[in-house]
Amino acid sequence: MEKKNGGAIALLPIAVFLVLYLGLGILFEYILGIEMGFYNIPIVVAFMAAILVACLQNRSISFNEKLQLMADGLADKNIITMILIFMTAGIFVGVVGRSSAESVAYFMLSIIPAKFAVAVLFVVACFVSTAMGTSCGTIALIVPIAVAVSSVAGFSLPLCVASVMGGAMFGDNLSFISDTTIAACNTQGCEMKDKFRTNFFIALPAAIAALVIILILSFQTQVQSSIHESYSLLQLIPYLLVLVGGIAGVNVFVILLVGIVSGSVIMLATGTVDAITLITNMGSGASGMFETAMVAVLVSAMCGMIRAYGGFDALLAGIKRVFRGKRGGQLGIGLLVGAMDVATANNTVAIVMAGPIAREMAQDYGISPKKSASILDTFSCVFQGIIPYGAQMLYAVSAVIALGYSITAFEIIPFLIYPFMLLLSSLLFIFFLPEHGADK
C-alpha cells in the first residue's frame, strides 16, 4: 500500500494518548489525591482511544485498509518474541518470589561490616534487579530491609531508600529479562548480548561512581548496630544461573527455562512453597506481564498507521533540523525516549513508543542497533529513576509509609546518585567516545 503523507498531523494519536494518560495521571495523583494515581489510569484504554483517533484520520484510506496497516505493524517476529519473553520472565519472577531476593540481601549484610550497610543495599539491589529483571519488584522486596537498616544502624532513611532505587534501576537497565531490555533490543533489532556489552560500559562507571559517593556519605554516620536475619544460599542459585547464562550469551528462552526449573526444584525441595502454590505463583507472574504485552501490541498497531500516514517522516525531518551528525542523532534518541517517559511515567511504554522512530533515526544517522538500543534503555531508566510520579518512586514511598515511617519523593530525589551518574556517563558515552561507522 502506498504511503500517504499526512505530515505532523499524523502524530495526533500519540499526542492524544499523552494528553489522556498524563492529564488523568496528574488529576488523580495531585488534584484528587489518589494513592498511586498514575497507575490507576487504564493505559490500555488510553491506547485504544489513540488508535480510534488514528482510525478517524486520513479518510482516503478505508477502515479495512487501516486494519491491514495495523496488522502490518504487528507483522514482525520481534513483536511475538517480545511478548513470549515478557510472559516467560513473569513466570520466572513468580517462581523465585520474595524469599530468594531477601536471602541475597541478608547474606550480604551478614558478611560485611555494618558501616558498609548502605553500600551493600545498593549492590544487592543491583544484583537482584539484574537477576529478576524488575526494578519495581526489587524496590518492593529490598526497601523494607533498607528501612530496617536505617532504623537499627542510624543511617539516613532517604539515603537508604534512594540507594535501593538506584540499584534497582541498574538492573532494570542491564538485565536480560527486564522488559526494558527486551523492548529496546527487539525494537532496534539487535542481540541482547550485544546490547548488554555496549550498555555495560555506560552503566558500570556510573555504578562505581555512585558506590563511592554512597560510601562517602555513609562514613559520615556513626553506626549504632547491624542487621542479622536468616537466609538460604540455595535460593541464590536460580538468580546466578540466569545472570551467568545471560552474560555468556545463551538464548534468553533457554536461560529463563533453566531459571524456572532450578527455582521450582529449590523452592519445592526447601519447603518454601508447595506444588499448588508454585503453580499459582507461575500464573500470577505471567499475568503480571499481560498489560505490558498488550501495550506492545497496541503500540505496534498504532505505529503501523502513523508510519503509513507519514508521521514518522515528519518527526524525523523535525529531529534532523535540530540534531546534526551521529552524536546529535544519539542525543536526539535519548531525549525522545526521555520525553516519552516523562509523559507516560513508564519506561517500557516509552521505549515501545519511541523504538520504531529511534530505529529509523539510527539508520539515517548511521548508529548501530546495539548502540541505539543502549541509549533507549539508558535514557528511559535515567528519567524513570528520578521522576517523582514514577512507579519506582511510588512503590518506595508506599513501602516506607506502610512500615509506619514518613518520607516524601522530594526527600529521596537528592540522594538518587546512580540515575544522575548514569545520565553523566551516558552523555560522556555519546560525546567523548571515538566516532566510527555503524558497526552492524
> What would the pLDDT profile of 270-319 be if each residue is shown by its tens digit?
888 889 988 998 888 888 778 767 877 887 788 788 878 887 777 777 77
Residue 48 has pLDDT above 70, yes or no: yes
Q: Does 254 or 39 have the greater pLDDT score?
A: 254
Average pLDDT over residues 310-329: 78
Q: Of 142, 164, 126, 181, nearest to 355 (Cα)?
A: 181
- Across residues 161-167, what is the average pLDDT? 94
User: Who wins on pLDDT, 110 or 55?
Assistant: 55
For residue range 416-438, what is the model confidence (pLDDT) as tens digits?
A: 999 999 999 999 988 887 654 44
CB-based contact 174:349 (threshold 8 Å): no
Higher pLDDT, 312 or 372: 372
For the entire predicted model, the pTM comes to 0.69
* SS3 call for 300: helix
Q: Which of the residue ranges 81-90, 264-273, 365-374 would you say has the lowest mean pLDDT?
A: 81-90
Whole-number pLDDT of residue 216: 93
Which range (149-158, 162-171, 241-250) has the least confidence?
Answer: 241-250
Would you list the DSSP string of 93-159? HHHHHHHHHHHHHHHHHHHS-GGGHHHHHHHHHHHHHHHH--HHHHHHHHHHHHHHHHHHH---HHH
Q: In 3-state terms, what secondary structure has residue 374?
A: helix
**What pLDDT digit, counting tens, does each position of 217-243 carry?**
988 877 766 666 666 778 778 877 876
Query: For the residues 338-350, what does the mean pLDDT come to?
Result: 76
**How far, in Å, CA of 361 to CA of 365, rounded?**
6
- Residue 247: pLDDT band with limits 50, 70, 90: low
**Higher per-residue pLDDT: 258 or 113:** 258
**What confidence score (pLDDT) does residue 229 get?**
66
What's residue 423's pLDDT?
A: 95
Residue 6 has pLDDT above 70, yes or no: no
What pLDDT was estimated at residue 183? 85
**Confidence (pLDDT) at 127:** 84
Average pLDDT value for the chain: 81
374 pLDDT band, cuts 50/70/90, is very high
> What's residue 417's pLDDT?
95
Residue 114 has pLDDT above 80, yes or no: no
Long-range pairs for 240-245 at CB < 8 Å and ≥24 separation? 240/131, 242/92, 242/131, 242/176, 242/177, 243/127, 243/130, 243/131
